[in-house]
Amino acid sequence: MSLQKTSEHLLLALKTNKPYQQFVDELSIIPVSDISNQITDDNKKKAFWINIYNSFFLILRKHQKVEKPNIYTDKLITITSQKMTLDEIEHGILRKYRIKKSLGYLPNLFAPAWIKNWAVHKIDFRIHFALNCGAASCPPIAFYNNTRIETQLEMATLSFLESETKIDKENKRLHLSQLFKWYMGDFGGKSGSRKIVSEYLKTNVVRYKIEYTPYNYTEELDNFVEL
């Protein structure tokens, strides 16, 4: 079974409350070369690592009851015998080794070699709407597939923006999720954020003042549909 399929089967098993440990075991013992040989372009990297992130968040939070912030910072995940954290998958691999608290503007020049080797070539702001942190604000997609990743990310982005964005046309104010503040650089700053909203929600908000709203952390660990 390919690594991509293994990541899909793992996440789907978790979402449907089926046995999943065999997939975890497989991922922990695969040769390092399999990552380089199979997860070769950004679409494959995004699909695979989003699935891995989402799977292990569920394993650690739902099944092992690991609390925050340890769930993000402790090396509790093993892929190809490499121990890693959720933060390393998100900020290292999927965000091309950005420093977590730099608003998305600063790279971590001292990131380990394995992170630099496996990281995406270009940061895609849409991954922020795909990583299922177990909150109600996260998109309800079962798993990501590299052949459908573009459509799935577009759907996840639109779904998130429609549910978490408020446009006040009378007062020219744009109320955005704090995700846009935490990772401002990924979204192209405030001007990029306005452009994204204008494009996806079909409303010109280029001159609107941005106000950030709290992220919805209400846990919905079984929140998914197959898209």
Residue 117 near residue 82 (C-beta atoms within 8 A): no
Q: What is the mean pLDDT of residues 85-112?
A: 97
Paired tokens of 202: 């079909």
Q: What is the pLDDT of residue 225?
A: 53
Higher pLDDT, residue 214 or 49: 49
Higher pLDDT, residue 142 or 222: 142
Statement: residue 226 has pLDDT above 60: no
pLDDT in tens, 74-83: 999 999 999 9
Q: What is the mean pLDDT of residues 204-227?
A: 79
Statement: residue 133 has pLDDT above 90: no
Statement: residue 227 has pLDDT above 50: no
Statement: residue 97 has pLDDT above 50: yes
Strand order in the sheet with 173-177: 166-168, 173-177, 209-213
Q: What is the mean pLDDT of the chain?
A: 93
Q: What is the mean pLDDT of residues 80-106?
A: 97
- Rounded CA-CA distance 77/139 in Å is 23
SS3 18: coil
| Across 44-53, 92-101, 209-218, least confident range | 209-218
Q: Strands, DSSP E only, in 85-172?
A: 166-168
Residue 179 belongs to what H/E stretch? helix 179-182
How many CB atoms lie under 10 A from the CB of residue 224? 20
From the number of C-beta atoms within 10 Å of its C-beta (0-12, 13-18, 19+), residue 213 rates as: middle
Question: Where does the pLDDT of residue 132 fall: very low under 50, low under 70, confident under 90, or very high at 90 and above?
Answer: confident
Q: What is the pLDDT of residue 96?
A: 98
Q: What is the pLDDT of residue 222?
A: 66
pLDDT in tens, 153-184: 999 999 889 989 999 999 999 999 999 999 99
**How would you classify the pairing of strands 173-177 and 209-213?**
parallel
User: What is the dihedral sign for C-alpha 161, 141, 68, 62?
Assistant: positive
Q: What is the pLDDT of residue 217?
A: 73
- Rounded CA-CA distance 82/103 in Å is 27
